[in-house]
Amino acid sequence: MNDENTGGAVEATDISFEDDEFVYTVHINQEVCVGGGQCVFAAPEVFTQRDEDGVVQFVTEYPSADERPDIEEAIEVCPAQVISMTKKPKG
């Protein structure tokens, strides 16, 4: 556990992780976020909301690959298509 970031959030709008086969990149488009927080509910280890306005932020730049199902759930439940994920083969 590392507590380097302040307030439990990082400024990045892209984060990535990998499993045995693929490198995944997760992107958030904060411009269109409506701040409902469903993503945080679905994947609390990955997403949080900015104190001031509820806009989504990442909790970490280096999520575990174990979070992938929760991230996919967050993508599904987000009402504003804020979150996207791409994958490409490793190597």
User: What is the contact surface with ligand SF4 in residues (CB under 6 A)?
Assistant: 33-39, 49, 56, 78-80, 82-83
What residues contact 8, with CB distance under 8 A and at least 6 apart? 48, 59
Instruction: Kindly provide the residue ranges of all beta strands, DSSP E only, lying in the chain, ordered along the sequence.
Output: 14-18, 22-28, 47-49, 56-58, 83-89
What minimum distance in Å lies between the beta carbon of 90 and ligand SF4?
A: 27
Residue 45 near residue 63 (C-beta atoms within 8 A): yes
Of residues 17 and 58, the one with the C-beta less far from ligand SF4: 58
What minimum distance in Å lies between the beta carbon of 49 and ligand SF4?
A: 6
Instruction: Kindly provide the residue ranges of all beta strands, DSSP E only, lying in 19-82, ordered along the sequence.
Output: 22-28, 47-49, 56-58
Of residues 24 and 26, the one with the C-beta less far from ligand SF4: 26
Of residues 54 and 88, the one with the C-beta less far from ligand SF4: 54
What minimum distance in Å lies between the beta carbon of 89 and ligand SF4?
A: 27
